[in-house]
Amino acid sequence: MNPASAGVFDKAKQDDRAALIGYLPAGFPTVDRSVEILQAMLDAGVDLLEVGLPYSDPLMDGPAIQDSVEMALAGGVTTSDVLDVISRLTTRPGQAIYVMSYWNPIERFGVQRFAEGLAAAGGCGVITPDLTPEEAGPWISATNAAGVDRTFLVAPSSSDARIGVVAEATTGFVYAASTMGVTGARDSVSDAAPVLVNRVRQFTDKPIGVGLGVSSGKQAASIAQYADGVIVGSAFIRRILDAQTFDAALAEIGEFTSELAEGVRGSARATDAPVGAAN
């Protein structure tokens, strides 16, 4: 595991809490403003930042992320811009930056080139939601050479065999999608999440992050009882889309991040909590 991302989960464990993982596409609403927002998320308490690489065919993403990605693409954001955004961010010890990307943009940019470029920019990992370990040979080689973490996904529908394969191929944290379907903030997080986390723990001691649907500090606290990381994306984006001004958006992001950070920090850790304890 990359030392920077390992430090995120080590520090959270020392603090007896889960890590807060926040997502936002680079270039949304503009390249420069996305840097400001992403930095505000880090400054307000995000431990691991997921910088989205905008893609024209985001099949797994819900309306909020699709809207933000379309705005970024309309502004002309490129893969090189994404790496530049990462290079402009400042992290503290116990913080790290990942990229969240579909496979096609990475393949078009150049697999080795992307892994090396991310490492040079200060990023330490990549989440590839549509890439399976069986098809990831070049990516595994490139990330190993560049010292970049790779994260694959599991879902409630994943078989035990699939979970084992994903856990073995992952070098960062295992991404546990708590619901079936597209991304988006929800009023409640699926009861399947703690069951899935318990299943994954049978195959690995790597950190497990739970995502898809978190929209409040209360939900973050609930997930933090059994997961190593709480992943929030659409709820950040929705606050930016709904803000009347950019300054208002920055303020909203800071307040919401603080709420989520308080949630993951205020919840007693119980990784061996009974299945179903999340709700």
- Catalytic amino acids? 50, 61
258 with 272: CB under 8 angstroms?
no
Residues with Cβ < 8 Å from 107, sequence gap 6 or more?
A: none
**Half-sphere exposure of residue 263, counting CA atoms within 13 Å on the CB side?**
25
Closest CA to 171 of 197, 148, 196, 187: 148
Instruction: Identify any residues that bridge with 52 across adjacent strands, giving them in sequence order.
Output: 25, 100
Backbone angles phi, psi at 86, to 5 degrees: -60, -40
Backbone angles phi, psi at 154, to 5 degrees: -125, 160
Between CA 6 and CA 9 the distance in angstroms is 6
Residue in this structure with the two tokens 């990330």, named with its chain if needed:
143
Three-state SS annotation for 257-272: HHHHHHHHHHCCCCCC
Q: Encode burial over 239-278: b for 16+ CB neighbours within 10 A, e otherwise.
A: bbbebeeeeebbebbbebbeebbebbbebebeeeeeeeeb
Burial class (CB in 10 A: 0-12, 13-18, 19+), 104: middle
